[in-house]
Amino acid sequence: MSAALFDSALYGKLVPTGEVGRLFTDSAEVRAMMIVEGALARVQGAAGLIPEVSAKAIHRASLELQLDPAGLAEATGQNGVPVPALVSAFRELMQAPEHAQYVHFGATSQDVTDTALMLRLRQVLGHYETALDRVIAALAAQAEAHAETPMAARTYLQHATPTSFGALAAAWGWPLLELREELAALKTGLWVSLSGAAGTASALGPDPSALRAELAQALNLEDPGRSWHTDRTPILRLGAWIARITGALAKLGEDLTLLAASETREVTLGGTGASSTMPQKQNPVAPSVLTMLGTHAGGLAQTLTTAGRQRHQRDGAAWFTEWMVLPQLCLAGAAALETAGPLLEGLAPRTEAMAATLAGAKGALAAEALSFALAREMPRPEAQAAMKALAREAAESGADLVALAAERHPGITPADFTPEALLGTAPAEARGFARAARIPPAAGG
Amino acid sequence: MSAALFDSALYGKLVPTGEVGRLFTDSAEVRAMMIVEGALARVQGAAGLIPEVSAKAIHRASLELQLDPAGLAEATGQNGVPVPALVSAFRELMQAPEHAQYVHFGATSQDVTDTALMLRLRQVLGHYETALDRVIAALAAQAEAHAETPMAARTYLQHATPTSFGALAAAWGWPLLELREELAALKTGLWVSLSGAAGTASALGPDPSALRAELAQALNLEDPGRSWHTDRTPILRLGAWIARITGALAKLGEDLTLLAASETREVTLGGTGASSTMPQKQNPVAPSVLTMLGTHAGGLAQTLTTAGRQRHQRDGAAWFTEWMVLPQLCLAGAAALETAGPLLEGLAPRTEAMAATLAGAKGALAAEALSFALAREMPRPEAQAAMKALAREAAESGADLVALAAERHPGITPADFTPEALLGTAPAEARGFARAARIPPAAGG
Amino acid sequence: MSAALFDSALYGKLVPTGEVGRLFTDSAEVRAMMIVEGALARVQGAAGLIPEVSAKAIHRASLELQLDPAGLAEATGQNGVPVPALVSAFRELMQAPEHAQYVHFGATSQDVTDTALMLRLRQVLGHYETALDRVIAALAAQAEAHAETPMAARTYLQHATPTSFGALAAAWGWPLLELREELAALKTGLWVSLSGAAGTASALGPDPSALRAELAQALNLEDPGRSWHTDRTPILRLGAWIARITGALAKLGEDLTLLAASETREVTLGGTGASSTMPQKQNPVAPSVLTMLGTHAGGLAQTLTTAGRQRHQRDGAAWFTEWMVLPQLCLAGAAALETAGPLLEGLAPRTEAMAATLAGAKGALAAEALSFALAREMPRPEAQAAMKALAREAAESGADLVALAAERHPGITPADFTPEALLGTAPAEARGFARAARIPPAAGG
Amino acid sequence: MSAALFDSALYGKLVPTGEVGRLFTDSAEVRAMMIVEGALARVQGAAGLIPEVSAKAIHRASLELQLDPAGLAEATGQNGVPVPALVSAFRELMQAPEHAQYVHFGATSQDVTDTALMLRLRQVLGHYETALDRVIAALAAQAEAHAETPMAARTYLQHATPTSFGALAAAWGWPLLELREELAALKTGLWVSLSGAAGTASALGPDPSALRAELAQALNLEDPGRSWHTDRTPILRLGAWIARITGALAKLGEDLTLLAASETREVTLGGTGASSTMPQKQNPVAPSVLTMLGTHAGGLAQTLTTAGRQRHQRDGAAWFTEWMVLPQLCLAGAAALETAGPLLEGLAPRTEAMAATLAGAKGALAAEALSFALAREMPRPEAQAAMKALAREAAESGADLVALAAERHPGITPADFTPEALLGTAPAEARGFARAARIPPAAGG
């Protein structure tokens, strides 16, 4: 146990974050800030704001120097922000004061931390995209393969009507597909920041707009065309998006936990979850992790919303809050995707158990269909009342509802009321998702 | 005090919700559900699924009949959902059982409640759009008018550098402009629901997809081309968007509260906020309301995220949770916009107070600019150290920093360091926002 | 649908709040504030701070006058707090300006609103106590009656070992019993407020402490011996307590939803939850309501925590936030208790279904016990491995695990491994709770 | 940046957690679990449940063996809980299978993790107590020293009446003193867990209650007299308490940020908060950290509430959620206390600035007192109206309100309306807190 499970040597593998984990280390952050300082010097040199030779020296140094995060800790604790210490250490390590003086020229700490964050978020989104595609592909495969595999649909955890496992896979997948399509907009929302101490770029030369545009191009980020120190739109958009990702996967986790329950066992999850004292048990560990991540991420996303309320031209408390929760939120999203991918690839519906559930329900899931059939013989309210009575009788006597209905109403043909006959649009829902999942998102996504 | 201030006869005007308030009443909800039942019958009649004459009778009745919400309460408490009671009351009131039996034919409760919700959310978004445009226009006017009105920028509540009031108005406005642009996508995300008991449309005739498309057209909603009972994407997208609206306006509220503080008084808010015992006081009531709404909405949006986790094919608890928080969230957003509009229109910066703040700071806000000026004479780290020493000396002696710097460094010309001279891009930031605010959003937005 | 379901004519019976609902109406609030003004005048008259005759007139008027909350709405919207308008209307209605001028003498709005709130919270706690006792008694009865009724314990929704239904009832009840015991401290934490505009009682005569003590006695509240405008301890303590109440009942709701699931049906809930289209369905409406209330209350309690952060000597935004969420939180707690009481009284375990579950598990729940038995014959790790192999074999072949174990290990006597034989401390856990539930809490609780 | 700032080499000193940080490391957790296994063996040996010689060997090994957390990671990721891997590694490392087989005899993973958690929480509470005492002592010293130091009270950030800095210190302190008093109950709420796989202690010998009592005594924890796997009362109580601690300190942080604002500067915070580009700035870093921690902890506490909803006899998702947020919550509380202590000890009110604020307000803060003085000459409503008019006139003309009032109303003596004369109970409030802070809490606290 560390502050968060993600960093724990003991628990880390319970919440695997893949490549995203490496982006939220101290060294990755320091590296990203140095890249920003280097690129800034380069564009300032090209613009004649600082000597070209100094710019080159700084840029080169930004790629070569190694700064130890721990060495910046004392000053970061004092200043609240690591940039002053980083700039100072950078300058010293360069051992060329005539060039080093141009490091961080006219920028403010937030320009550096925000731009460095955006650089890492671009990578985060790249990894998310890959992981999300894997999850969607796994769901599409399940949807396709089981488009016509009957199972009980459940509302309020009660048997409702038949559906197919493929339709359930589609239901898991659609929200993710929506989120996948929104990725393009998130990417173009990764902005460069360059507007100085209070957003007015007053120490950034005669044409700060052009400079910002150059920096954006150098770092392959978007130029928002303005200052955005207190406008946390890119962060808030991402936070809400991740909360929806983890929420969608938490539903998957909950559904799988329920379907794996001892009384149901309609899915096989693969071999995890030993108990320390009960030899027979297999716990749905990965689904439980998904549920947990959804809950945790939901809380973090709300705190992030609060952090978006930057007073005046910068707010220390809001800023620190963002630093506290955004990494965890990104890691939670990553862990959810990294957990869901293999889980879905190893997931197998137990079709015989699904069939047994349907059989065991003794026609109860056909009740709606039977009531519509009866409504062809009598007014609909009467048909509904008749079915209610039949359902009660069947439940009490243990009789099969379809058989009972056929006995009482000769117009009823049992073969029309098998689960397979009552799938409705479930197969089409499943195949529709599989098809949509195969369409690549529009350019940029 | 009612459960929520919005419904309170005593407190309601503290949180004015305008037209949106009327959309979240019991009667508006019942009306919307009846419209859905009427439209459903009409398209089912046209498709030959129910007798055309019955369809017409139902459709007519759906427009004419008045159902008392209280009359449905008992059954709603029992069933958890109002539709069974509504259908039953509808049928009875029609006094034409031969037609009435076709009310709600093959649909499930959730089809009706979700579609009826979407109808009302379309109106909500319409009102939001109008209110948001008003807020943005007020901000654009402030930004334009005060593009060059100097004031102190503050970071961590400390004087930083000069900026302009127009630039601050722009900073308030940009997140709203981003949100304004996202409205179009929210609108096209208002989906019709028609997929029956468990999302498989099994009782909706031979071509349920066509029927859903017809219903969408009849109600002027989008056809998602699929079942979405458990996919709360439209709700979650809206919830996150509202949380960002109220968050952006909470920043406005906080800033105005701070700027109106007795020690600062850089804005005039208009005449609200009497104290029961202190005759001299004018409290920033409306800004405090904005802050409160941001906090409340943030909490509700998180709970809504949890509500998005619909287990299996429908989850009662998740569904009820959505019902509990979504109306409040919509009302909070409406109240924030309704409060911010008049507040901003009546807002007046006290330019003389802003100038006095800058004068009182005795050149401290020029420190950054002075340090860059010194850096032309000496290496930058030395210049920074020299400025730090000068700033300390000025603070201790009460001297004006610019005058002191000019005295020590003849290259420094005081006229270059007035607030007006140090606005940097603030005027351009302000005017850039005003310009962007006047561009109508792309079609559909 | 109103802002919150509690106030809805349509949905109100889904979330019944009993007597507590009446305490959070506008008229109840106005009444409570008038009682405070009346009592204040009385103690000020007795102390000679205002003329005794005026004090009597005010006190009498406070009991007799009827103020229309709606008539105070305009000014409340302006002032942010209803007291100035209330005082003004009170004075006018008295039609005796010579006395009326002494209404609200030296007090501040917050003294009145906070004290009036405490008066109502005392009643809230009274109703909670009654409702909580009813819930605990119902659980104690279930625990007692079913102390030895075997059922499957489930961890991660997987069969674990046998337990008894009574032990489960005890597990539901213990957290409530802890909360019941904390009630006494909550009650003594209901403080009178009387400290004037900024907490210094500067307009409350020569001995404000004595006056506050008198007021406390007159209203039967506690005298904290100090000003507490910004110290929201009583509210925060209550909020956290309610969140735990609703959380404990949400577990109950979740468990009942799971136990009522179609595959399990180990409980009967009573006759609610009809579907609009599926005649056979009985939805667990009340348990779903409990889950929802837990989720909603959790969110509100967090927002209340934020509201506790009162800046300086009073913070409008924090105060408004408290007003927005506290009533709902109290109502959510009340609704949870009002829902749980009847639900538990009507709850019936289906013991035959519980037995069938245990039988259907074919000895799997005896695995732990079997492994301990084997450990008497061989080292424990070997015994665990042997049991794991047997469990796998039994699962694959469909054999009964106990029978299989007995066949292989003659030392195993099947009769020692029936569910009844493996209840362990479950009966004692159940009876221990029933016993504890019958002990009245210490005086004051 | 790590997942959470607490673990970051770069940011760690911004959120110093002192000794508490060491309790939430992987090695501290493994160590605590081993202590539990050792103590369990010892009491089982004494009870004759396992051979005494094995018990001794296990107990000794539990103190001597070093287990590498990383070595347990793979299995922990698989099983979801570290205990199976820990038990297995423990047994292997003992190199004495005849004894090692009795490790973890009849216990379940949760018995070990919960008891080990309680052991660490006892230490957490110890550190909290020390840190809280330091904070309270610092506040008491400020309250005492500045009981009569006049300053402006502010409501809605508007000048209200005079108060004293000591009274403000008391207002910061009272909620902490309430929390300090609740510590005793928290400590006695640290329970031992020993109830086996599903809470029925079925594999824990003939007298599991006695065994649990012995274990409690061996580990110096409380024996709750029952199973509590799903009753998270101790955790929830602690979580709510920490949220109140961090909330109270967030108010302190907000107040100090506001009092340190450039326009106010009524406090000196000590030398932190350099800017990377503005030489004159001193940012209120520590107060901002306090605000952030309050916000973060509030979010975590809500998630913890959700985690308290343990379904059936154990719920993986709820359990994992608790693991994710509880450590951070404890660390947030620790960081808030560790930050507040030194901050308050170094805090100095700038009494001359406070006096200047009062002087600059030109009598406005005397308005309430003046209106009461006038009310001795005329009916109170008239007096209030007269004062309102005078206040407006003074504000417009720039005149001193007291002088103006004295000029118009000869009964007014200016000397009665100085800040010092209008402190009301502020000095007594300050000294009352200082006195209360010196009283040691009742035994056990």
- Per the listing, tokens 């703040």 go with B357
Rounded to an integer, what distance in angstroms lies between the CA atom of residue D299 and that of residue D154? Answer: 28
User: Is pLDDT of A444 > 80?
Assistant: no
Residue in chain A lying closest to C282 (CA): A158
Give the angle subtended at the CA of B90 by the CAs of B85 and B92, to the nearest 5°.
95
Q: Which residues of A touch C401 (CB under 8 A)?
A: 280
Sorting pLDDT into bands at 50, 70 and 90, what band is B274? Answer: low
Give the C-alpha separation, B38 to B58, whole Å: 6
With CA atoms as reference, the chain C residue closest to B315 would be C288
Handedness of CA C130, C131, C136, C141 (dihedral sign): positive
CB D363 within 8 A of CB D400: yes
Residue A217 to residue A221: CA distance in whole angstroms: 6
**What is the rounded distance in angstroms from the CA atom of residue D64 to the CA atom of residue D61?**
5
Neighbours of C189 (CB within 10 A): 18
CA quadruple A298, A304, A308, A309: dihedral, nearest 10: 90
Query: Which contiguous run of DSSP H or E holds residue A162?
Result: strand A158-164
**A151 sits in which H/E element:** strand A150-155
Burial of B270 (0-12, 13-18, 19+ CB in 10 A): middle
C-alpha angle with apex A245: A244 to A251, nearest 5 degrees? 85
Q: Which position has the token pair 């008038």?
A: C34
Residue A443 confidence class, pLDDT cut points 50, 70, 90: very low
Give the pLDDT score at D440.
Answer: 72
Is residue A312 helix, strand or coil? coil
Q: What is the pLDDT, as a whole number, of residue B396?
A: 86
pLDDT band for position C2 (cuts 50, 70, 90):
confident
Q: Determine the pLDDT at residue D271.
A: 57
Both structure tokens of D427: 């000095």
Q: How far apart are CA A277 and CA D106, in angstroms?
A: 7
For residue C370, give Cα distances in angstroms to B99, B110, C262: 65, 49, 31
**C-alpha to C-alpha distance for D259 and D267, rounded to whole angstroms:** 6
Amino acid found at C135:
V
Q: What digits encode the pLDDT tens for the residues C114-144?
A: 999 999 999 999 999 999 999 999 999 999 9
> What's the mean pLDDT in C217-225?
97
Rounded CA separation D296/A325 (Å): 8
CA angle B173, B179, B183 (to 5 degrees): 140
* pLDDT digits 0-9 by tens, B94-150: 999 999 999 999 899 999 999 999 999 999 999 999 999 999 999 999 999 999 999
User: If you average pLDDT over residues C376-405, what whole number do you get?
Assistant: 89
Band the pLDDT of B278: cuts 50, 70, 90: low
Instruction: Kindly provide the ipTM of the predicted complex, given to two decimals.
Output: 0.95
Q: Helices A285-307 and B233-259: crossing angle, nearest 10°?
A: 30
* Nearest-angstrom CA–CA distance, A40 and A60: 12
DSSP state for residue B441 in the 8-state scheme: P
Q: A279 falls in which pLDDT band (50, 70, 90)? A: low
Min mean pLDDT across B243-247, B259-263, C281-285, D238-242 is at C281-285
- Judged against a pLDDT cut of 80, whether residue B443 lies above it is answered with no
Q: Which domains does chain B possess? A: 13-107+193-227 (1.10.275.10), 116-191+233-353+424-445 (1.20.200.10), 354-423 (1.10.40)
Q: Which residue has 């049991």 as its token pair? A: C387
Cβ contacts (< 8 Å) between B315 and chain A: which residues?
Answer: 155-156
Task: Outline where DSSP puts E strands in D104-257.
Answer: 150-155, 158-164
Q: Say how far apart CA C7 and CA C382 lie, in whole Å.
A: 63
How many whole angstroms separate alpha carbon A155 and alpha carbon C275?
Answer: 10
Could you tell me the mean pLDDT of each successive run of 10 residues in chain D, 445 residues long? 88 95 96 98 96 97 96 93 95 95 92 98 98 98 98 95 97 98 94 90 89 97 96 98 98 98 92 60 91 98 97 96 98 98 95 95 89 86 87 89 92 93 95 93 50
Tally the residues of chain A: 445
Give the burial string for A257-275 (b: 16+ CB within 10 Å, else e).
bbbbbbbbbbbebeebbbb
Q: Could you write out the three-class secondary structure of D191-203?
A: ECCCCCCCCCCCC
CA B311, chain centre distance (Å): 29
How confident is the model over B158-183, as a mean pLDDT?
97
Question: In sequence order, which residues have a C-beta less than 8 Å from that of residue C359 and are 6 or more positions away?
Answer: none
Report pLDDT for C201: 85
CA distance B395 to D120: 49
Query: For residues D259 and D351, what is the distance between their CA atoms, to the nearest angstrom?
Result: 12
Report whether pLDDT(A135) > 70: yes
Rounded Cα gap, residues C14 and C330, in angstroms: 16
Residue A439 DSSP label: S
**B positions 138-157 inside 8 Å of A (CB):** 153-157
Average pLDDT, rounded, for chain B: 93
- The H or E element containing residue D53 is helix D52-64
pTM higher than the cut 0.95: yes
Q: Which residue of A has its CA nearest to D287?
A: A317
Determine the pLDDT at residue D73. 95
pLDDT tens by residue, A195-221: 988 888 888 888 999 999 999 999 999
Confidence class for position C318, pLDDT limits 50, 70, 90: very high
pLDDT of residue C444: 41
Question: Cβ contacts of residue A60 below 8 Å, gap of 6+?
Answer: A38
Is any Cβ of chain D less than 8 angstroms from the Cβ of B95? no
Alpha carbon of A88: minimum distance to chain B alpha carbons (Å): 9
Confidence at residue B392, expressed as pLDDT on a 0 to 100 scale:
87
Distance CA B83, CA B116 (A): 11
Q: What is the pLDDT of residue B445?
A: 38
Interface of C with B in 263-282 (CB under 8 A): 272-278
All partners of chain B with 3 or more CB pairs under 8 angstroms: A, C, D
Structure tokens at B6: 């919005």
Tell me the average pLDDT across C278-283: 71
d(CA B277, CA D371): 9
The one-letter amino acid code at B240 reads A
Task: Provide the pLDDT confidence category of residue C384 given band limits of 50, 70 and 90.
Answer: confident
Better-predicted residue by pLDDT, A274 or B78: B78
Which two three-digit tokens encode residue B368?
A: 């950054």
Helices D316-346 and A233-259, packing angle to 10 deg? 150
- Which residue's entry shows tokens 């059936």? D312
Are D136 and D129 spatial neighbours (Cβ–Cβ below 8 Å)? no
Amino acid occupying residue C167 = A
| D52 alpha-carbon distance from chain centroid | 43
- Contact residues on chain A for B381, CB-CB shorter than 8 A: 91, 97, 100-101
Does B91 participate in catalysis according to the annotation?
A: no
pLDDT value, residue B376: 84
pLDDT by residue (tens digit) across C406-438?
A: 999 988 999 999 999 999 999 999 999 999 999
Please report the pLDDT score of residue B323 as a whole number.
97
Amino acid at B106: G
B79 touching C (Cβ < 8 Å) = yes
Please state, in angstroms and as integers, the Cα–Cα distance from residue D311 to each residue in C250, C254, C290, following that order.
9, 6, 13
User: Tens digits of per-residue pLDDT, A328-363?
Assistant: 999 999 999 999 999 999 999 999 999 999 999 999
Q: How far apart are CA A24 and CA D166, in angstroms?
A: 44
C210 inside 8 A of chain A by CB: no
What pLDDT does B277 receive? 61
Cβ(C316)–Cβ(B275) under 8 Å?
no
Strands (E) in D344-422, as ranges, are 348-349
The predicted-structure confidence for B32-73, as pLDDT tens digits, reads as follows 999 999 999 999 999 999 999 999 999 999 999 999 999 999
Q: How far is Cα D119 from Cα D32, in angstroms, rounded to an integer?
A: 7
Q: Which one of C313, C316, C375 has the shortest CB-CB distance to D153? A: C313
pLDDT(B201) > 90: no
Please state which of the ranges A355-359, A435-439, C277-281, D368-372 shows the lowest mean pLDDT.
C277-281
Report the pLDDT value the prediction gives residue B444, as an integer from 0 to 100.
Answer: 41
Predicted confidence band of residue A280 (pLDDT cuts 50, 70, 90): low
The C-alpha atoms of residue A42 and residue A54 are separated, in whole angstroms, by 9
Task: Name which of C157, C279, C384 is nearest A258 (Cβ-Cβ).
Answer: C157
Q: Across all residues in chain C, what is the average pLDDT?
A: 93
| pLDDT of A174 | 98
B154 annotated active-site: no
DSSP letter (8 states) at residue D222: B
Q: Give yes or no for a contact between D294 and D253, defined as CB atoms under 8 angstroms apart.
A: yes
Q: Which of A415, A423, A260, A252 is nearest to A340 (CA)?
A: A252
User: What does the pLDDT look like over A386-408, one tens digit per residue?
Assistant: 888 998 899 889 899 999 999 99
Alpha carbon of C107 to those of B376, C35, D241, D368: distances in Å? 62, 14, 32, 11
pLDDT at C442: 59
User: Strand pairing of C158-164 and C150-155?
Assistant: antiparallel
Q: Which residues of B touch D306 (CB under 8 A)?
A: 306
Query: Catalytic one among A2, A27, A202, A275?
Result: A275
**If residue C392 lies in a helix (H) or strand (E), which one and from where to where?**
helix C380-397
Say if CB B222 and CB B191 are below 8 A apart: yes
User: Treating both helix axes as pointing N-terminal to C-terminal, what angle do B165-187 and B233-259 enclose, rounded to 10 degrees?
Assistant: 170
Mean pLDDT of C21-40: 97
What percentage of chain B has pLDDT greater than the value 70? 96
HSE on the CB side for B223, CA within 13 Å? Answer: 15
